[in-house]
Amino acid sequence: MEKKKELQVAALENGTVIDHIPNDQLFKVVSLLGIKKSTTPVTIGYGLDSKKMGKKGIIKIADKFFKADEIDRISLIAPSSQLNIIRDYEVVEKKLVGLPDELVGIVKCNNPKCITNNEPMRTRFQVIDKENVTLKCHYCEMKTKKEDVIIQ
Ligand SMILES: [Zn+2]
């Protein structure tokens, strides 16, 4: 069983594996990360067996190490997914994506009167409910729920 699980994420010399992506969110994550434009090989696994989740998705990207703002983007769609950092065929770091306390320059404020929609400035949101994903604009204090989140 352990062997089979390893095979699903094998053969990446250097790069990042995004594991435990909810199956129905996989292609959202793919499009959000701009993977079509990737210049290095990407392997996308859909509908893989997972003991925890039933079915899951995986994305393996060669020679790619995510920056904090990219991880924040993933966190809005698939906070329970896990990043495995691979160097020289070894997993050197595993981390849960998780939602941060604050999102800067990632989400659009849905209030047309908000200063961030009228001035050239970065948006800033506090994550006030990590479980259900509710964000509060730092400037106009309008709350945005998960289903209304627009990622910039
Ligand atoms: Zn606002």
What is the per-residue pLDDT across 69-104, written as a single tens digit (0 to 9) for each? Answer: 999 999 999 999 999 999 999 999 999 999 999 999
**Measured distance CA(137)–CA(71) in Å, rounded:** 20
User: CB-side exposure of 42: number of CA atoms within 13 Å?
Assistant: 17
Report the separation in Å between the CA atom of 145 and the middle of ligand 1, taken as the mean of its atom positions. 13
Strands (E), 7-141: 14-22, 42-50, 54-62, 82-87, 90-96, 102-104, 107-108, 124-129, 134-137
Q: 89 C-alpha vs ligand 1 centroid, how far in Å?
A: 44
User: Ligand 1 centroid vs 149 CA: distance in angstroms?
Assistant: 12
How far is the centre of ligand 1, averaged over its atoms, from the C-alpha of 110 (Å)?
7
3-state secondary structure (DSSP) of residue 148: helix
Q: What is the pLDDT of residue 15?
A: 96
Q: For residue 72, what is the enclosing H or E element?
A: helix 68-77
Average pLDDT over residues 128-132: 91
Rounded to two decimals, what is the model's pTM? 0.83
51-62 pLDDT per residue, tens: 988 999 999 999
79 CA → ligand 1 middle, Å: 23
The count of other CB atoms within 10 Å of the CB of residue 20 is 19
State the distance from the centre of ligand 1 to the C-alpha of 134, rounded, in angstroms: 13
User: 132 or 112: which carries more pLDDT confidence?
Assistant: 112
If you measure from the C-alpha of residue 31 to the centroid of ligand 1, how many angstroms do you get, rounded to a whole number? 25
